[in-house]
Amino acid sequence: MSTNPPSDCPKTLPLCLLAPGVQAEIFSLGGKDAINHRLRELGFCEAAKVKKISGRHTVMCEVCGTKLAISAELAQLIHVQPVAAA
């Protein structure tokens, strides 16, 4: 299971480190196949938009219009690229 994105990728960070209120695009998922599949089925697909709401450990975020709480360990696996505010 990798918490680090590939080296030849744009600047990304784990979802847990994203500041609250910031919208980001999911770049990659670093977990095992089963975990990644589950995350994708809940809307955490590559290129999907996610907005972090709160939390430094357990994270509250919004994806596909739904609010979800995810454990810190899962939030570490989701690599995102912040999106500039419109």
Residues that bind other proteins (CB under 8 A): 33-43, 45-46, 48, 53-55, 57-58, 60, 63-74
Tell me whether residue 84 or residue 86 sits nearer to other proteins (CB atom). 86
Tell me the closest approach of the beta carbon of residue 10 to other proteins, in angstroms: 19
Tokens of 16: 């847990």
Contacts of 84 (CB under 8 A, 6+ apart): none
Tell me the closest approach of the beta carbon of residue 36 to other proteins, in angstroms: 7
Tell me whether residue 11 or residue 57 sits nearer to other proteins (CB atom). 57
Bridge partners of 52? Answer: 61
Tell me whether residue 9 or residue 37 sits nearer to other proteins (CB atom). 37
The residue assigned the tokens 């972090």 is 52
Give the CA-trace dihedral at 47, 9, 70, 53, to 10 degrees.
-70
The residue assigned the tokens 């975020």 is 61
Tell me the closest approach of the beta carbon of residue 82 to other proteins, in angstroms: 20
